[in-house]
Amino acid sequence: MKRIAVLGSTGSIGTSALDVIAGHPDRLSLIGIAARNSVDTVEAQVRRHRPRLVCLWDADKAAELAHRCPSTTVVTGIGGLVQLVTDPEVDIVVVGTSGRQTLIPLLSAIGAGKRIALASKELLVMAGEIIMAKVRETGAVLIPVDSEHSALFQALQGVPREQIARIVLTGSGGSLWSLEPSQWASVTREQVLRHPKWQMGPKITVDSATLMNKGLEVIEARWLFDMPCERIRVVIHPQAMVHALVETTDGSCMAHMSICDMRLPIQYALSYPERWPSPLPALRLTQLPGLQFFDPDLSRFPCLALAMDAAKAGGTACTVLSAANDAAVEAYLRDALAFADIPRIIEQVLSHHHAVAHPTLEEVLEADRWARAESDALIGRATSLRSPQLTHEEQAELAPTAAIPRSVHS
């Protein structure tokens, strides 16, 4: 019996993980869950799945949940997250949340020798060097849940490192791939959030539309598989049936294929090294549409170009990229920023940053804090551009797009 803690239990990864756990009651047991502040949803999960330990980030919400579920131990804040992930009864921690608040609990779980099923690419982008050093130091097992990286993890099994020529990450292209660039100016939020293949949360769906998601995945793969950026390729694959490929030195190419359902990589991370039966339908090769692959156009998707630049710069450039993207996407989702301004904000924040090549944990956290503050200031200026009281000259002076360099400063 493998005993599980799920961070981010109310999100798309968390709910899928709970489904997988419930589907294997003879193999998996849920010990604890964590969420931000969704009391009603978490209460329903507690009553259905019966975890003995729950963490809510918000203290007031935690107190409310403790009153509603008196037989459940409820903890709060970062201390509560650390308590949950280091609990002696927990064998595997599913990390389905992103953001700096999860970094310390993740490192604590690794230090406690837990297996990590990692779905949050942002944590490896933010502090990949530190996280993987901790994994090596402790001998912990970290298995990616992100579909592309799970595919690579599986395809690389048994392939000697010296025989790997290149790894290839595929992407559907997101919700805007089929649109002409001239149509982007009038794109609606509904269009952006209508992903053609995956059911995901709003933030990652926006990242998919900008292709920032693929850029973050390049950085994630660089750390997970200890692979230099020049040996990681991104291709657009609209059918989203091939999730990743491994090219070997003899010219062979091994592809991982499956239906689009996150429960598959989650189950593999929990069952590894075994493979268990799944209730999900198998891929039916004879019913597949024609498979297409395209090189991404970086002029159409500047977020991918920014991420590739940051990956090459390394260090805190990646931390700043992720934090600025978080801030810009959050502003877009609350209608404080236009869609086209997302890459512009990120690029300007990066241009103001002097990257630290091999940062300490404190330097990573400070770079994250600085990037969010810098992003918020620029977003505030961009928001004021939308005010009809401003003259054309004032708008030009405030515009965040002026004189933005095309490369990351280090």
Q: Which residue has the higher pLDDT, 196 or 78?
A: 78
Residue labelled with tokens 């700096």? 100
pLDDT confidence of residue 397: 39
Inter-residue contact 252 to 238 (CB < 8 Å): no
Q: State whether CATH 3.40.50.720 applies to domain 2-144.
A: yes
- Tell me the DSSP string of 323-339: HHHHHHHHHHHTTSS-T
Please give the CATH number for the structural domain made up of 313-398. 1.10.1740.10
pLDDT of residue 301: 92
Is the model's pLDDT at 409 over the cut of 60?
A: no
- Distance (Å, whole) CA 48 – CA 144: 27
Average confidence score pLDDT of the chain: 90
Strands (E), 209-316: 232-236, 242-248, 253-257
What is the model's pLDDT at position 392? 40
pLDDT of residue 386: 58
pTM as predicted: 0.88
Q: Where are the domains of the chain?
A: 2-144, 149-259, 313-398
Q: Are 134 and 107 in contact (CB under 8 A)?
A: yes
DSSP letters, 147-207, are HHHHHHHHHTTT--GGGEEEEEEEE---TTTTS-GGGGGG--HHHHT--SS----HHHHHH
Q: What is the rounded CA–CA span in Å between residue 102 and residue 96?
A: 10
Q: What is the pLDDT of residues 280-321, one digit of tens each?
A: 999 888 888 889 999 999 988 999 999 999 999 999 999 999
